[in-house]
Structure 1
């Protein structure tokens, strides 16, 4: 009996130690609002909208201390629509993020699973739509993925520690197609620098077969048809390769911050994927995008923001999109705030379908004219 008591005491002590060295946290965010758009497919629209500034979500994150400065970690995060309870991210249960990995206090963090790319990690934070502006104000169609619309499946990812304000990282996504090593392959590299009021970020992304590997990697995605729904680049769904290079930065002075981003997006070898839209077969469609944004902390609880975005297509593409944005957020507490935003977009030239360009704000059905206006009011709560 004495020996049994000793063993039980040892097991109990070990269990308590293991519990003290590991943790699992349930977390989430609810973001919902009501929007008005003057023209979507030729008609005005008033509707409830979920996940506007931040995607509505719930998730679990956990860590376990393995000793010697090493930790095991995981995140599983599910997106959903507050309007009707449906899963977000094309029907994926954990479509926002799902990964496991190791973190070293001397080297960095290595993770494996469904994750954000380097564009979202490094220059992405400088875009207004990743700060105070709802995702409707992202760059047209989120063509450079700075807003993180599309996560990456089957990804091995590394993020370094910060060395005097400098950090870097990269990711590689396996295509998983037998006999075709590079099909659906995605890779990216990025770096950031932060020192005092100055912050900078840069990244490069290379995507093979983007219609399937990037835009069609959800449960409800098509394996044969186009997964690109916006008119900004839907005509290039058949491209063999998409590549993006982007940079961003900000400077803070007092209660104000000025930020900017630049990206160059290219859809190469249009027509390589049979059965998909192919405007200008064999060509390359390219886009310059530049954004300038400003935010001001009027009071500790009240934030104001304004931004202008310019997109210019060239190569086989001749569309231009100009976008002006204004937003404000008022914090009722650390976890709850209310917000309002307005966006105006004007399009000109010839778009990816070969027709006269029409306005097409991110996440909306295209306008029937060159202009589109959106206004939204909403509320966020974090838990």
Structure 2
């Protein structure tokens, strides 16, 4: 895909500026092996945040990974001949302010996979990987465009905030005239039950000139919800009160199905973006749907300075939410920028406002303001 708008290049092109730390050159071995490389890359991001209502009181905090999650990783490529390559990626997430692993303490919780790639046949990879909601639609969401992790939707139930699937096999076709398709299957690994804990996903992307578009679906059995949204769903309470908005106890749904479409258009200095997602819950034979529609724009005032704003509307039964995101980003260099952003959430009466990753408000309103520094390497 072309990197049509400048900030998106920075967000998606971390590895493009990576430092090559190894190049294998062994005399007497095939030429393809002599071209093998391993690269080191990462992001270091930290911010000061202010929350207007967190359990009934305002709060100040130093929060890592607001603009983009902190990480370091390694990726490798070894040409095997005839356009075929062996590839791998190991990517660790961490919290800068205390040095801990993210993703539940996993060493390579962000990504961990190995596979084969070919310009002619596409890529086939195995391991812990993103589903297509993340790879195909995240670029059109305010949480990425602004950027602010708080700008993703309720509890990240629509998975735009980059969620992964374990034990997965992922295939992506080569590009045909701007169109690319993909499929994924995640093995549940439960003896005697092939379906339990399993997942299936499909995706498509299209690019032509200034237009980019994507679509995705993922269906997961025995899905565990980790973050609150301020209300209950099919009788399951999703009101987080502990640190970082985690539920009092993780809640498991019989099945969660997520689908979405999104698009972006580069119109001169303005990048117009929109996304629609549908989350389906099923528990004990009862179903419910959460719908979210979002639209926004990012405008490059100069090469260094850009402004962003978006609005999202979510509805679940009689409950609804209005979310506003605005931000300013100033690039100091190709690898370093400073940012300011604000996210405002207003929910309907009787529903506690709860932005993604934050503890719930005591009312139906919650606002978070952040100022931070991000460095890519």
Task: Give TM-score, length-normalised by structure 2.
Answer: 0.87
1:89 is the counterpart of 2:103: yes
- How far 1:13 moved relative to its partner? 2.0
1:254 is the counterpart of 2:289: no
Residues 160-171 of structure 1: matches in 2 within 5 Å? Answer: 160-171=173-184
Give per-residue Cα distances to partners, 1:229-281, cap 9 Å, x unaligned.
Answer: 4435562734211101100011111110111100111101x2x4xxxxxxxxx
**Aligned residue number for residue 370 of structure 1:** 364
Is the alpha carbon distance of 1:251 and 1:178 closer, same or farther for their aligned partners in structure 2, counting shifts above 3 Å? same
1:308 is the counterpart of 2:311: yes
1:131 is the counterpart of 2:134: no
- How far 1:17 moved relative to its partner? 4.3
**Aligned residue number for residue 20 of structure 1:** 34
**Aligned residue number for residue 84 of structure 2:** 70
Give per-residue Cα distances to partners, 1:329-348, cap 9 Å, x unaligned.
Answer: 10000000000001111011
**Aligned residue number for residue 331 of structure 1:** 331
Residues 28-39 of structure 1: matches in 2 within 5 Å? Answer: 28-39=42-53
- Structure 2, unmatched stretches of 5+, are 1-24, 239-250
**Aligned residue number for residue 342 of structure 2:** 342
Give per-residue Cα distances to partners, 1:79-120, cap 9 Å, x unaligned.
Answer: 001100000111100000000000012011110000100111
Counterparts of 2:66 and 2:26, CA distance in 1: 47
| Count of residue correspondences | 338
**Aligned residue number for residue 157 of structure 1:** 170
- The partner residue of 2:156 within 119, 134, 142 is 142
1:184 is the counterpart of 2:197: yes
**Aligned residue number for residue 231 of structure 1:** 230
Give per-residue Cα distances to partners, 1:160-217, cap 9 Å, x unaligned.
Answer: 1211111110110000000011000101001011001111100111010001xxx5xx
- How far 1:133 moved relative to its partner? 2.1
Counterparts of 2:155 and 2:190, CA distance in 1: 28
Give per-residue Cα distances to partners, 1:256-307, cap 9 Å, x unaligned.
Answer: 0111100111101x2x4xxxxxxxxx42121110000100011011111000
1:194 is the counterpart of 2:207: yes
- How far 1:71 moved relative to its partner? 0.2
1:294 is the counterpart of 2:297: yes
Counterparts of 2:26 and 2:95, CA distance in 1: 43
Counterparts of 1:107 and 1:235, CA distance in 2: 45
Residues 257-268 of structure 1: matches in 2 within 5 Å? Answer: 257-268=271-282
- How far 1:125 moved relative to its partner? 1.5
Larger radius of gyration: 1
**Aligned residue number for residue 352 of structure 2:** 358
**Aligned residue number for residue 220 of structure 1:** none
Task: Give TM-score, length-normalised by structure 1.
Answer: 0.85
For the 8 Å contact 1:172–1:187, the answer to whether it is kept is yes
Counterparts of 1:29 and 1:114, CA distance in 2: 20
- Structure 1, unmatched stretches of 5+, are 1-10, 216-226, 273-281, 350-355
SS in 1 for 2:289: strand
For the 8 Å contact 2:227–2:357, the answer to whether it is kept is no
Counterparts of 1:74 and 1:205, CA distance in 2: 23
Residues 50-65 of structure 1: matches in 2 within 5 Å? Answer: 50-65=64-79
Counterparts of 1:128 and 1:289, CA distance in 2: 12
1:110 is the counterpart of 2:129: no
Counterparts of 1:348 and 1:229, CA distance in 2: 16
SS in 2 for 1:161: coil
Across the aligned residues of Structure 1 and Structure 2, the Cα RMSD in angstroms comes to: 1.6
- How far 1:16 moved relative to its partner? 8.8
For the 8 Å contact 2:145–2:308, the answer to whether it is kept is no
Is the alpha carbon distance of 1:228 and 1:256 closer, same or farther for their aligned partners in structure 2, counting shifts above 3 Å? closer
